[in-house]
């Protein structure tokens, strides 16, 4: 990466962050690209050059939550451990990813009608792929006896829901820090799966 590339990446990142704040606070329709440019101290042509249009900016923001979640499950799977351990690694990281991207997720839900149809289809595919990834780990865990789960699909939706709902109640000014919420929510969610401990397996065998 050249310095020029790094600067471009930094500018994109800052633009996304500023637009996320504005869309979250004022709504997509009430926010102009001039508002975003003003908050960043850049020009509107800069934003057009980097994102093409307000619609493309929205599509990118809406995708960021599910992309962060997918990155966490991919990373956990890439460790090459069994399904039980994969989940134990994934869930706390997933909770933190949702806390970090919660404003983008809220925008995704609120502004779905403002997405271009093609962007809405792409997003639905990303969400579907993510739930399928979680479901697949659960299914493998059920098949090799590591995870006690009757319905991997509904369980995957339950996990995604329990964690994603943080978007609507997590308060960074509340009594619990993000890492504490991540720890406690992970304990609750992993409890849902009744991961069978290896030594329990030995006793049963």
- Alpha helices by DSSP H, listed for 41-177, are 44-51, 54-78, 83-100, 102-110, 117-143, 152-164, 166-169
Output the six-digit token pair for 45.
Answer: 């042509």
73-81, 86-94, 139-147, 166-174 -> range binding its own copies (CB under 8 A): 166-174
State the virtual CA torsion across 22, 23, 24, 26 in degrees, nearest 10: 70
Site size toward its own copies (CB under 8 A) is: 32
Which one, 44 or 184, has the nearer CB to its own copies?
184
Q: Can you tell me which of 79, 109, 116, 177 binds its own copies, judged by CB under 8 A?
A: 109
Asked if 177 is part of the footprint of its own copies (rule: CB under 8 A), the reply reads: no
Taking the least distance from each CB to its own copies, the nearer of 23 and 51 is 23
Q: Taking the complex as a whole, how short is the minimal distance between the CB of residue 190 and its own copies, in angstroms? A: 10
124-163 burial: b if 16+ Cβ within 10 Å, else e: eebbeebbebbbebbbbbbeeebbebeebeebbeebbeeb
* Whether the Cβ atoms of residue 65 and residue 108 lie closer than 8 Å to each other: yes
121 is a site residue for its own copies (CB under 8 A): no
Contacts to its own copies from residues 28-87, by CB under 8 A: 29
Q: What is the CA radius of gyration of the chain?
A: 20
Please choose, from the candidates 34, 105, 36, 31, the residue with its C-alpha nearest in 3D space to the C-alpha of residue 67.
Answer: 105
Instruction: Select the residue interacting with its own copies from 7, 27, 125, 201 (CB under 8 A).
Output: 27
- Return the number of the residue (29 or 197) whose C-beta is nearest its own copies: 29
145 lies in the binding site for its own copies (CB under 8 A): no
Sole window of 38-46, 51-59, 139-147, 154-162 interacting with its own copies (rule: CB under 8 A): 154-162
Residues contacting residue 39 through CB under 8 Å, at least 6 positions apart = 18, 21, 22
Which spans of this chain sit near its own copies (rule: CB under 8 A)?
A: 27, 29, 109-110, 112-113, 131, 150-151, 154-155, 157-166, 168-169, 181, 184-185, 187-189, 191-192, 194
């Amino acid at each position: 990466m050249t310095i020029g590339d790094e600067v471009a990446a930094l500018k994109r990142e800052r633009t996304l962050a500023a637009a996320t704040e504005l869309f979250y606070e004022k709504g997509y329709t009430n926010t102009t690209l001039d508002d975003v440019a003003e908050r960043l101290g850049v020009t509107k042509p800069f934003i057009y050059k980097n994102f093409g249009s307000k619609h493309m900016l929205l599509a990118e923001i809406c995708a960021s939550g599910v992309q962060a979640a997918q990155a966490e499950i991919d990373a956990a799977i890439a460790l090459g451990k069994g399904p039980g351990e994969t989940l134990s690694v994934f869930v706390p990281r997933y909770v933190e990813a949702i806390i970090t991207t919660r404003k983008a997720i809220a925008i995704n839900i609120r502004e779905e009608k403002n997405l271009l149809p093609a962007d809405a289809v792409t997003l639905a595919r990303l969400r579907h792929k993510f739930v399928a990834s979680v479901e697949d780990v659960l299914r493998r865990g059920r098949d090799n006896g590591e995870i006690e789960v009757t319905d991997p699909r509904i369980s995957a939706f339950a996990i995604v829901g329990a964690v994603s709902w943080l978007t609507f109640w997590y308060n960074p000014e509340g009594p619990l820090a993000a890492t504490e919420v991540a720890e406690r929510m992970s304990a609750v969610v992993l409890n849902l799966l009744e991961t069978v401990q290896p030594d329990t397996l030995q006793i049963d065998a």
